[in-house]
Amino acid sequence: MFIERGKPEEIPKGAIRLTKDEVMEYMTNLIQKWPNTMELWALKHGNPILSSAVVISSSVILHFYRKRLKLGNYGRFTLFLPVVLMPSIFDQIYQSSITTKSIILQEDCPICISTQSMFIQLGTGIVYPLMSTIGGSYMVAHKMNLLSFKSNGPDIVKEFAQHLTKLSRPLYNRLTAFVIGHALLSYMISHYQMENFEFLRLKMLQQQNEEIEALRQRKQISNK
């Protein structure tokens, strides 16, 4: 079955109309059951690769602040869940429900799809882990009396900012590398996902044409 997006007036006679959910379900099953994994590797494994990259960057960020604040084993599991596990899950969900869905339903242009993928990757792989790590690590350090600020009232915000800036300086180069890495990886994966989908569409069209030709030949044989 060949699936093509079109306007109501462009739909040929005898065509079956499918909802977006039905298209997604059909195409997802087709991709997962495709016999040659290498032909659709990006559609099959691209999002898990991006999710794994989120685990790597968020783990490095968490380890850096835990080490700099000398937390030891304090709150290790408590911080791991929101800082490392949750963003990797969110990345997988958002990439599948936004990027891959846009590719399959042909809803956005290639540049828009790649941009969406990069924003998702940077948000889940850099922004969220960084913010949650800073908040969680400082909270644990304060609770365990490993860190205290001398200022009171509004001045404590300034002291916290100065302390955070000084503490984070050695991480800047790694953050820059992670930003570039996530952006390039997400662009590459989304690019190959679009190529994989175009290959799949051509295969489906070829299969449909072969079935139509086989049906035409059977009719010719039966009419003789």
Q: Report the domain count for the chain.
A: 1
pLDDT category at 211 given cuts 50, 70, 90 is: low
Q: Taking 80 as the threshold, does the pLDDT of residue 164 lie above it?
A: yes
Residue 57 forms part of a structural domain: yes
Residue 116 forms part of a structural domain: yes
Residue 47 forms part of a structural domain: yes
The pLDDT of residue 193 is 95
Residue 29 forms part of a structural domain: no
> Which residues, 6+ apart, have CB-to-CB distance to 124 below 8 Å?
54, 87, 88, 90, 91, 94
pLDDT category at 73 given cuts 50, 70, 90 is: confident
Residues in the chain: 224
For tokens 């205290």, the residue is 148
Residue 149 forms part of a structural domain: yes
Residue 159 in contact with residue 150, Cβ under 8 Å?
Answer: yes
* Percentage of the residues of the chain whose pLDDT score is greater than 90: 52
Among 63-67, 136-140, 151-155, top mean pLDDT goes to 63-67
Q: Taking 50 as the threshold, does the pLDDT of residue 2 lie above it?
A: no
| pTM metric for this prediction | 0.84
> Which stretches of 69-168 are DSSP H helices?
76-80, 86-94, 101-105, 110-122, 128-143, 155-168
Residue 50 forms part of a structural domain: yes
Q: Which residue has better confidence, 124 or 75? A: 124
Range of the domain at 161: 42-197
Range from 6-20, 102-116, 142-156, 190-204 carrying the lowest mean pLDDT:
6-20
Structure tokens at 183: 């952006």
pLDDT (tens digit per residue) in 31-52: 888 888 898 999 999 999 999 9
pLDDT (tens digit per residue) in 82-95: 999 999 999 999 99
Residue 156 forms part of a structural domain: yes
Closest by alpha carbon to 28, among 115, 121, 105? 105
Closest by alpha carbon to 54, among 117, 115, 113, 126? 126
Structure tokens at 43: 């559609």
Q: Taking 70 as the threshold, does the pLDDT of residue 157 lie above it?
A: yes
> Which residues, 6+ apart, have CB-to-CB distance to 101 below 8 Å?
24, 107
Residue 158 forms part of a structural domain: yes
Structure tokens at 198: 């175009």
CA 153, distance to chain mean position in Å, is 41
